[in-house]
Amino acid sequence: MSSISIIGLGNMASALADRALAGGNAVEIIGRDPAKAKELAAALGGATVGTAGAAPAGDIVILAVPYASASAVVSEYGDDALQGKVIIDITNPVSPDFQGFVTPDGSSGAQEIAKAAPAGAHVVKAFNTLFSHVLAAGPAEGRLLDVFIAGDDAQAKTRVSAFIESLGLRPMDTGQLAMARSLENVALLQLGLVAHSVKHTNFFLGVSILS
């Protein structure tokens, strides 16, 4: 089992924390509003509360914040606080019109976050293709949800994969961190499906392996 620090207090933070606790992981909740962080931890039961800006207790740190503030959050913690940590980026840097991205051409949100992270930390893209309520519900009709991951460090991806399996989900390694661009495009594809065909968010995209 893993030791997890979740930075953020929104729906994805809550869903991830709940599944992590159910999977036997130690969970720390960190938010800029201490009262809301304590409220979320109490509602979950079993989670501890950390202090924003202080070194996270978890070996795996999940950035469950909007992309616009993700790099700044990483920078605020500094090199010492995140040294040796695995940082999971779940963000989607989608433009306000949902037609593209706010990241530089040829880059991704995960790669930009990695630039702000200390050299001793390892960024892994994961969970960005799952809606929070779908993640909270878990397996659908007996099928495990697929969590696509991307990262440059093999050991970090192994640790993230083990964490994902503890949630009752299936990790799917897509390759190096540059593949985060493709994963963020998958999220954009999902938004297009919501707008033009599916018309709701009660779905997920996964892999069916044919024999």
The answer to whether 184 touches 108, Cβ cutoff 8 Å, is yes
DSSP 95-157: -TTSSSBSSPTT--HHHHHHHHS-TT-EEEE-STTS-HHHHHH-SBTTBPPEEEEEES-HHHH
Tokens of 15: 């869903």
pLDDT band at residue 12, thresholds of 50, 70 and 90?
very high
Neighbours of 145 (CB within 10 A): 21
* pLDDT at site 170: 97
**In which band, very low, low, confident or very high, does the pLDDT at 145 lie, cut at 50, 70 and 90?**
very high
Q: Is the Cβ–Cβ distance between 37 and 30 less than 8 Å? A: yes
Of 85, 72, 77, 86, the C-alpha closest to 51 is 77
Confidence band, pLDDT 50/70/90 cuts, at residue 164: very high
Q: How far apart are CA 172 and CA 128, in angstroms?
A: 13
Model pLDDT, residue 173: 98
Q: So what's the pLDDT on residue 47?
A: 97
- What's the confidence (pLDDT) of residue 142? 84
Give tens-digit pLDDT for 66-123: 999 999 999 998 888 999 999 999 999 999 998 999 999 999 999 999 999 999 999 9
Average pLDDT over residues 7-31: 97
Distance CA(27)–CA(47), nearest Å, equals 5
What's the average model confidence in pLDDT over 57-65? 97
Average pLDDT over residues 168-180: 98
pLDDT at 18: 97
Rounded to whole angstroms, what are the CA distances from 56 to 4, 21, 85, 141, 155? 9, 17, 9, 36, 20
Predicted pLDDT of residue 32: 92
Cβ–Cβ < 8 Å for 126, 160: yes
Around Cβ 54, how many Cβ atoms within 10 Å?
10
Picking from 151, 107, 155, the residue whose alpha carbon sits closest to that of residue 127 is 151
When the pLDDT of each residue in the chain is averaged and rounded to a whole number, the result is 96
DSSP secondary structure code for residue 71 in this structure: H
- Mean of the pLDDT values across residues 14-32? 97
In angstroms, the CA 83 to CA 65 distance is 20
pLDDT, mean of residues 178-187: 98
Local confidence band at 211 (pLDDT 50, 70, 90 cut-offs): confident
pLDDT over threshold 90, residue 204: yes
26: nearest Cα among 10, 6, 9, 12:
6
Residue 93: its pLDDT value, please?
A: 97
**pLDDT on residue 208:** 93
Q: How much is the pLDDT for 140?
A: 82
